[in-house]
Amino acid sequence: MMYDLIIIGAGPAGITAAVYAARKRMKTLVLTRNIGGQAAMSWDVENYTGYQFITGPELAKKFEEHLKSQQVESHEGVSVESIWKTGDSFKVMSSDGTYEARMVIIATGKQPNRLGVPGEKEFWNKGVTYCATCDAPIFEGKPVVVVGGGNSALDAAIQLAKIASRVSIVNIMPEFTGDPVMVEKVISSDRVTVYARSEINEILGQAFVTHVKVRTPEGIVEVPAEGVFIEIGSGPSLVPVMNAELKLNDKREIEVNENAETSVPGLFACGDVSSVPVKQIIVAAGQGCVACLSAFKYLSTRRF
Amino acid sequence: MIKVYSTPTCPWCLRLKQFLKEKNVEYTDFDVSKDVNARNEMIQKSGQMGVPQVEINGTWIVGFDKPAIEEAMKKTSK
């Protein structure tokens, strides 16, 4: 079956695009890992018009209700592996099968950056975590390592210093880049050891993580750790596009114009994965609308 | 019986519990930030150290994996 539109991702951008697509009666399929995306991970949202205060999970629930109220087919728990340009349509390969559409909107948002070291993948959820706020309490009384030097790494280290037996911070930079107040809190704790100008080489263990190898200016040291908290920022969650030249900017975001059009005709992008400079829930939602209306215009000006 | 293992500061744990409530499914919630026994039980039985986790009649699911949760609930209701 040929869809008019496939939307990849169901955060604020993807869901808004889907709502508009339903109103334009386009035959639409939403493929997504989850509903809510990064918005669902925010705690306090106080700048989404219409809500003076709402939590991320509650806002995500509202988004989901809105999506489900529309005549749009959506498949959750799906990861998209690649998009292939074929003539004047696109094939989308996913864990759920291959689907075809005249147009695709990429609204996959951002995801935590990975270290890319041996052991990181194998020990994910077995000590390695990207969500300190979620998982920190599980590591009570255990030695842990925090990787990074910005505010999120410092925040994780401050939380962990209260409960973990030992906190080692591995920072690739000579100094922390986070707020001075947070840096002071971290270095004043006698449970914290800082490895500056250092990098994790390997994460080791058996059933769970037991230690990490850290490359320091003085050489390689083995640091005992049962938890490895990776807090090195986030980057666009890209989907490989084949048979076409998809332009990215220097931050590896998908380059879009004011109509949310990418360098590939029929392929649109919106939200945090795109080059839109402001990364906010409300902007992502607005861009989702732009992408969908541009797609509708593209569809109606072409004879397929 | 459905057991949810969560921490109060985990957004996906909230989403998971919201989802079960919407489905009118009864569950027991263990706050593993305080309940050490539940925490150890979770890690030993599932072999996983992240939250949320949910146990549905012996099947462990890590994360808010809605399709997997629905599948496991279907199996139990048969």
Q: What is the pLDDT of residues A20-40, one digit of tens each?
A: 999 999 999 999 999 999 999
Which residues 6+ apart lie within 8 Å of A257 measured at CB?
A: none
Residue A92: pLDDT over 70: yes
Q: Tell me whether residues B14 and A41 touch, CB distance under 8 A.
A: no
Q: Tell me, what's the pLDDT at A43?
A: 79
Please state, in angstroms and rounded to a whole number, the distance separating the CA atoms of residues B36 and B1. Answer: 21
User: How close, in Å, is residue B69 to chain A by CA atoms?
Assistant: 11
**Chain A 160-179, CB below 8 Å of chain B: which residues?**
none
Query: ipTM for the complex?
Result: 0.89
User: How close, in Å, is residue B25 to chain A by CA atoms?
Assistant: 17
Structure tokens at B48: 């996983």
Output the CA torsion B58→B64→B67→B69 (10° steps): 30
Query: Per-residue pLDDT tens for A258-284?
Result: 999 999 999 999 999 999 999 999 999
Q: In chain A, whose CA is at the least distance from the CA of B37? A: A138
Q: Tell me, what's the pLDDT at B1?
A: 85
Test mutation, A30, A134, A159, A162, chain B, max B CBs within 10 A: A134
Side chain identity at residue A149, one-letter code: G
Query: Per-residue pLDDT tens for A169-207?
Result: 999 999 999 999 999 999 999 999 999 999 999 999 999
Test mutation, A126, A135, A155, chain B, max B CBs within 10 A: A135
Q: Nearest by CB to A137, which of B15, B32, B48? A: B32
Residue B78: pLDDT over 70: no
Contacts of A136 in chain B (CB under 8 A): 7, 9
Please state, in angstroms and rounded to a whole number, the distance separating the CA atoms of residues A67 and A87. Answer: 31
Query: Per-residue pLDDT tens for A48-89?
Result: 999 999 999 999 999 999 999 998 999 999 999 999 999 999
Q: Nearest by CB to B33, which of A57, A60, A137? A: A137
pLDDT confidence tier of residue A167, bands split at 50, 70 and 90: very high
Q: Tell me, what's the pLDDT at A301?
A: 92
Residue A240: pLDDT over 70: yes
- A43: contact with B, CB 8 A cutoff: yes
Provide the whole-model pTM.
0.89
Please state, in angstroms and rounded to a whole number, the distance separating the CA atoms of residues A173 and A237. Answer: 25
Q: Tell me, what's the pLDDT at B55?
A: 97
- Average of pLDDT values for A141-159? 95
Residue B76: pLDDT over 90: no
